[in-house]
Amino acid sequence: MSLTEEIKKRRTFAIIAHPDAGKTTLTEKLLLFGGAIQTAGAVKSNKIDTATKSDWMEIEKQRGISVATSVMGFEYKDVKINLLDTPGHQDFAEDTYRTLTAVDSVIMVIDCVKGVEIQTEKLMEVCRMRNTPVICFINKLDREGRDPYDLLDEVETKLNIKVRPLSWPIGMGKGFKGVYNLYEKKLNLFTPSQRKLSDDRQVFENLDDPQLDALIGPGNAAQLREDVDLIEGVYPDFDVNEYLEGKIAPVFFGSAVNNFGVNEMLDTFIKIAPTPKSRDTDVREVNPEESKFSGFVFKIHANMDPNHRNRIAFLRICSGKFERNKPYNHVRGPKPLRFSNVTQFMAQDKEIIDEAFPGDIVGLYDTGNLKIGDTLTEGENMVFTGIPSFSPEIFREVVNKDAMKTKQLEKGLKQLMEEGVAQLFTFEMGQRKVVGTVGQLQFEVIQFRLKNEYNATVEFHPMNLYKACWISCKDKKQLDEFVRSKNRYIARDKDDKLVFMAESKSWLQMVQDNYPEIEFHFTSEF
Ligand code: G4P
């Protein structure tokens, strides 16, 4: 198969959702449809058991297990689908943000009872940074949820994206009868089934068919005709290019646990979802069809066993063909790297592979050479952009409790930060070190791992900080002046970039007003 054909065959995406909306269930159903698994219940939820919510060791164990399911590849109707898993626990949201940099599109699951929830809003902001195309799946229609029109309005206003329903529910909860496929203009009636895949559906090509009244009742039939007329009147025709540009989100309704509406969405997904796209580097845009290989590392998973300090780096292939055992240019590093142990993930299994193509994700066994954001190429010196750090939400000062182990502490902190466990900021004044995270759990993880793997003892002291803002200014003199006058609040990130550590929202606003020439950014790439 030619490189172009390999690329056209691939769809790389992630499912994102607020916890409990049904991400794991939908993933499982997609794998069932793809024939990648045979029975429901095979996909382990990466959601953290409530009983272990505060037991991070248990969580890490569960995360360790989930390495195998970090990427689930499967084939459906001759399309190779790479589904990237995202952590179910909010404290690991940064992992999710980074995973989103490696996909070409996302499916967003929304619970029809709860509507758009906070985590969904945050994830959508990340999608918007790269105009990632989004498909919405409104789930749990077998429950009494909110009115579908209200839900669409909420998606539009809270997620700030235009919507276009491509399926429409008939009834809801106990009265849920099915979904009308507005894209193919077909009606599928609902037979609740958790296991059955190819349900014997009743397909209607024409909504005026009097049989419809007999099947779903005259009331439902009249309501459906009215709804469809209204939708077709209110919404312009679905324009696939608008979706591909991230301007409009097609919406599907269904019930993942009952297998309903999933097939409709998957069939439309393989038709409309983008194939691997071009990506920006600091030098130029890279087209997937270029013959030379390039890719970037977006995730690193450490081995928790201190005797085996190897880790798996997840590489997204962006162009050309990746080959096992071939030396590649490690753009940041001093020497070329060659990988003999390259794994690809098919459904629940890992297998050693010899080659991979744009859109694919491979796992590279690494002994500490790679860090998140690293680019590998077939020679060219360029770095993929669009893999930023986001401002953390919780900050704590690192206090070294064993002065004899300062070196070990420095090394441990550096390596953990390279894995993306958290972010480290070093204040210009006094060189105080501050760790920033999105969740409490990481502090326990870091403390334990520093002790266990590096023999360093630390404590974390709370700090009253609101945000880390990367700062820039067109005029270097003005920037220097700002740094001098706000010296107490200036720190450096892991790449030595200047960061302003803001204590509160209102105070940040005041500083912004007082220094209009300084730009404040909430991600490290601007
Ligand atoms: P998550 O990964 O997004 O966190 O959600 P997950 O799929 O684990 O689903 C959360 C809960 O919602 C599960 O129930 C799941 O069975 C249920 N669910 C998923 N899809 C539907 C649906 O279409 N309709 C209804 N009514 N429920 C749905 P649970 O009680 O937490 O777990 P379980 O014991 O059922 O597995």
DSSP assignment of 113-127, as one string?
TTBS-HHHHHHHHHH
The DSSP symbol for 92 reads G
Which CA distances in Å does 77 have to 35, 69, 74, 262, 443? 10, 22, 10, 15, 45
Q: Is the C-beta atom of 297 inside 6 A of ligand 1?
A: no
Q: Is the C-beta atom of 139 inside 6 A of ligand 1?
A: yes
Atom of ligand 1 nearest to the CA of 47: 4
Which residue carries 């995360």 as its tokens?
63
- In this structure, are residues 71 and 85 in contact, taking their beta carbons and an 8 Å threshold? yes
Atom of ligand 1 nearest to the CA of 143: 26
Distance (Å) from CA 88 to ligand 1 centroid: 13
Residue by residue, pLDDT tens for the chain (526 residues) are 899 999 999 999 999 998 889 998 898 889 888 877 766 665 555 554 544 444 556 655 555 445 445 788 888 999 999 999 887 666 777 888 889 999 999 999 999 999 999 889 988 988 988 899 999 999 999 999 999 999 999 999 999 999 999 999 988 898 888 888 888 777 777 665 544 544 455 667 778 888 888 888 899 899 999 999 999 999 989 999 999 999 999 999 999 998 888 988 999 999 999 999 999 999 999 999 999 999 999 988 876 555 666 788 999 999 999 999 999 999 999 999 999 989 887 666 678 889 999 999 999 998 889 999 999 999 999 999 988 888 898 999 999 999 999 999 999 999 888 888 899 999 999 899 999 998 888 898 899 889 988 999 999 999 999 999 999 999 999 999 999 999 999 999 988 999 999 999 999 999 999 999 999 999 888 7
Q: Is the C-beta atom of 24 inside 6 A of ligand 1?
A: yes
Q: Is the C-beta atom of 108 inside 6 A of ligand 1?
A: no
In order of their start, the domains of the chain are 3-272 (3.40.50.300), 282-377 (3.40.50.300), 394-521 (3.30.70.3280)
Atom of ligand 1 nearest to the CA of 27: 7
The pLDDT score that the predictor gives to residue 51 is 46
Which residue carries 């993933």 as its tokens?
27
Q: What's the CA gap between 245 and 240, in Å, rounded?
A: 9
Q: Which of 30, 107, 144, 257 to mutate to test the pocket of ligand 1 (most atoms within 8 A of CB)?
A: 257
Name the closest-CA residue to atom 32, ligand 1.
20
Q: How many CA atoms lie less than 13 Å away from 267 in the CB half-sphere?
A: 10
Distance (Å) from CA 252 to ligand 1 centroid: 18
Q: Which two tokens stand for residue 454?
A: 């590096």
The pLDDT score that the predictor gives to residue 275 is 98
Distance (Å) from CA 24 to ligand 1 centroid: 8
Q: Pick from 18, 2, 33, 25: which is nearest to 270 by CA? A: 33
The pLDDT score that the predictor gives to residue 53 is 46
Distance (Å) from CA 249 to ligand 1 centroid: 23
- In this structure, are residues 501 and 508 in contact, taking their beta carbons and an 8 Å threshold? no
Name the closest-CA residue to atom 29, ligand 1.
20
- In this structure, are residues 246 and 132 in contact, taking their beta carbons and an 8 Å threshold? yes
Q: Where are the beta strands (DSSP E) in 38-151?
A: 71-76, 79-84, 105-111, 134-139
Distance (Å) from CA 43 to ligand 1 centroid: 13
Name the closest-CA residue to atom 25, ligand 1.
140
Distance (Å) from CA 53 to ligand 1 centroid: 18
Q: Is the C-beta atom of 19 inside 6 A of ligand 1?
A: yes
Distance (Å) from CA 220 to ligand 1 centroid: 27
C-alpha 331: how far from chain center: 25
Q: Is the C-beta atom of 107 inside 6 A of ligand 1?
A: no
The pLDDT score that the predictor gives to residue 65 is 46
The pLDDT score that the predictor gives to residue 54 is 47
The pLDDT score that the predictor gives to residue 180 is 86
Buried b (16+ CB within 10 A) or exposed e, 163-190: bbbbbbbbbbeeebbbbbbbbbeebbbb
Task: List 410's β-bridge partners, or say none.
Answer: none
The pLDDT score that the predictor gives to residue 43 is 59
Q: Is the C-beta atom of 258 inside 6 A of ligand 1?
A: yes
Q: What's the CA gap between 526 and 524, in Å, rounded?
A: 7
Q: Is the C-beta atom of 21 inside 6 A of ligand 1?
A: yes
Atom of ligand 1 nearest to the CA of 21: 3
Q: Is the C-beta atom of 25 inside 6 A of ligand 1?
A: yes
- In this structure, are residues 36 and 72 in contact, taking their beta carbons and an 8 Å threshold? yes
Distance (Å) from CA 85 to ligand 1 centroid: 16
